[in-house]
Structure 1
Amino acid sequence: MKKFGLLGQKLSYSFSPVIHGVIFEYLKLDATYSLIEREPELLDQKAFHDIMAVYDGINVTIPYKSHIMPFLDEIDPAAARIGAVNTVVKRDGRLIGYNTDYFGALASLKALPYSEATGAILLGTGGSSKAVMQCLKALEIEPIYQVSRTPETNIVGENIRQLDYEMLATMDISGCLLVNCTPVGMETYEYASPVPKAVVGRQSSVFDLIYVPAVTTLLAYANEENVPHQNGLDMLMIQAVEAEKLWLSMPDLQQDQMLSHLKDSISI
């Protein structure tokens, strides 16, 4: 039996075991998928390697997508450019890091009217936001306003500007694709929104990476303001399929077919 899992700090919300369970059943694969919760102070290199001694491959989520990179033997060039790893593959005794978030985020952004956007507002600076940043660049959406509680500098690169949330609320930025890469809006945050309704109403579309709840306060604001929007479930399912392709060495596994099966089998 093969063993896979998800490494993170708080994972009670995760839908990943259900998704991977459906994939295993579809492929008739004898495998399990577990939640691996660890506190940051307990996840050093030795602890990580102890985990990988038990598992054939893992996914990685908040707050470890960058944290575990120094513990790996090799990092896929695309993941290195992103600066975050969400999938670890064990191959010939070596631990190799990949980023499959990129594929899920890109497909989700393309499902929105992204070409109408006059720019992008990216909330958060964690591992997921790094993948989304590369997607925004690939789609040539600019300028990009990256928003965090403590921006390090005002301008960080060509057509990229860092703001704090107060600046975003007071500036007249409109017509953008707004992407939430923070955990604000999850049930543990009592359905809060990372930005006010007025900010949402000025934008062209909204993508919230959160999928539990399916409709966050941010997406409810978008719905009330008739702004096209999408949650993070498709992204989660697509990145899961891409991770399975890596773990199982099945590059020909059809993403569209598998995604359709997942949507038929899963609801939130």
Structure 2
Amino acid sequence: MKIYGLIGYPLSHSFSKGFFAEKFAKEGIKDCLYDSFPIPSIEELPALITRYPELQGLNVTIPYKEVVMPYLDELSPAAAQIRAVNCIHFKDGRKTGYNTDAIGFRRSLEPLLQSHHNKALVLGTGGAAKAVQYVLDSMNIPYKLVSRKASPGTITYEQLDEEIMSSHKLIVNTTPLGMYPNVEAAPELPYDLISSGHLLYDLIYNPAVTAFLQKGADRGAVIKNGHEMLILQAEASWEIWNGL
């Protein structure tokens, strides 16, 4: 039996476990099992690996995407640049870290892009933002980082004026603002400056339409939530684990 799973803490609701259970059933994959492994500390990872010698791959979620890296033997170029890992492949006694968030984001964003989506605003500066920045860099789309606090390389929400909003037609929310149950929350954008030329992408998938996306839709913008990205990053993990 080949074992795959998800590490993080806590793991009250795991998209991954349900996704792979459905995938295995639908595709008639009999020799594989995917489980959730909530470990209270990353220091418990070596013991987990020892306990399950059949482990072929792990997904990694909050809060371990960065602190897991010292436990690995090597990193893919993307994971090394992003400095975050959400997928581990076990092969020939070696543990390799990958970042499939970047793969999922790129694959779901590309079909939506038009020629005028040539500059972006990235809301938030956390781990998720790093994967988004990596993708935008690789697609040669310049961007500004937006944060509540001013710091080198970022601008604040207060600085978003008509010129910036009209020239940056792609806006990506990487913050947790608006995630269930706090569905009323939204990044403090000047939403009146959003037009039908804008594309608003939210990494959140619950609720399906966040306040951020709804405010954009009300102004005629194209909107996209993070559900497809989640599916695509899970599929990318499966491709990596199976050498597809």
Indicate the TM-score class for this superposition, using the shorter chain for normalisation: 0.7 to 0.9
Pairing partner for 1:180 from 165, 168, 173: 173
Pairwise mapping of residues 71-110 of structure 1 onto structure 2 (< 5 A)?
71-110=71-110
Residue equivalent to 1:216: 210
1:164 aligns with 2:163: no
TM norm structure 1: 0.79
What secondary structure sits across from 1:192 in the alignment? coil
Query: In structure 2, do the counterparts of structure 1 residues 149 and 60 end up closer, same or farther at CA, with 3 Å as the change threshold?
Result: farther
Q: 1:137 to 1:27 in 2, by over 3 A?
A: farther
Question: Are residues 1:192 and 2:185 paired?
Answer: yes
Q: Render the CA deviation track for 1:12-49: whole Å, top value 9, x for unaligned.
A: 3432222212222215233232233345xx223xx122
Tell me the CA shift for residue 138 of structure 1: 2.1
Pick aligned residue for 2:45 from 44, 48, 59: 48
Counterparts of 2:137 and 2:148, CA distance in 1:
23
- Equivalent residues in 2 for 1:248-267, closer than 5 Å: 248-249=242-243, 251=244
How far apart are the structure 2 equivalents of 1:77 and 1:137?
14
Q: Distance in 1 between matches of 2:77 and 2:159?
A: 35
Matches of 2:30 and 2:193 in 1, distance apart?
A: 43
Structure 1 spans left out of the alignment, 5+ residues: 156-161, 252-268
Which residue of structure 2 aligns with residue 256 of structure 1? Answer: none
Task: Provide Cα deviations, 1:61-99, integer angstroms capped at 9, x if missing partner.
Answer: 223222211121111122212221110111112211011
**Is the 1:128–1:181 contact (alpha carbons within 8 Å) kept by the matching residues of 2?**
yes
Contact 2:90 2:96 in 1 (8 A): yes
2:191 paired with 1:226: no
* Structure 2 Cα separation of the partners of residues 217 and 200 of structure 1: 16
Would the aligned equivalents of 2:66 and 2:83 in 1 still touch at CA under 8 Å?
A: yes
Indicate if the aligned counterparts of 2:192 and 2:219 stay in contact, CA closer than 8 A. no
User: Are the counterparts in 1 of residues 5 and 59 from structure 2 also a CA contact under 8 Å?
Assistant: yes
> Structure 2 unaligned runs (5+)?
none
Q: Secondary structure at the match of 2:205?
A: coil
**Quick one: structure 1 residues 3 and 106, their matched pair in 2 at CA, closer, same or farther if it must change by over 3 Å?**
same
What TM-score do the two structures reach when normalised by structure 2?
A: 0.86
SS of the residue corresponding to residue 6 of structure 1 reads strand
Deviation at 1:57, TM superposition (A): 1.5
Aligned to 1:28: 29
Aligned-residue offset at 1:205 = 0.6
After superposition, the CA RMSD in angstroms is: 2.3
**Distance in 1, Cα, partners of 2:85 & 2:47:** 18
How many corresponding residue pairs? 237
Instruction: Tell me the equivalent position of 1:70.
Output: 70
Equivalent position SS for 2:177: coil
Find the aligned partners of 2:99 and 2:125 in 1 and give their Cα distance. 16
Partner Cα distance (2:175, 2:201) in 1: 12
Query: What residue identity is the alignment partner of 1:212?
Result: N
Q: Secondary structure at the match of 1:19?
A: helix
Contact 2:213 2:223 in 1 (8 A): yes
Instruction: Provide the identity percentage.
Output: 38
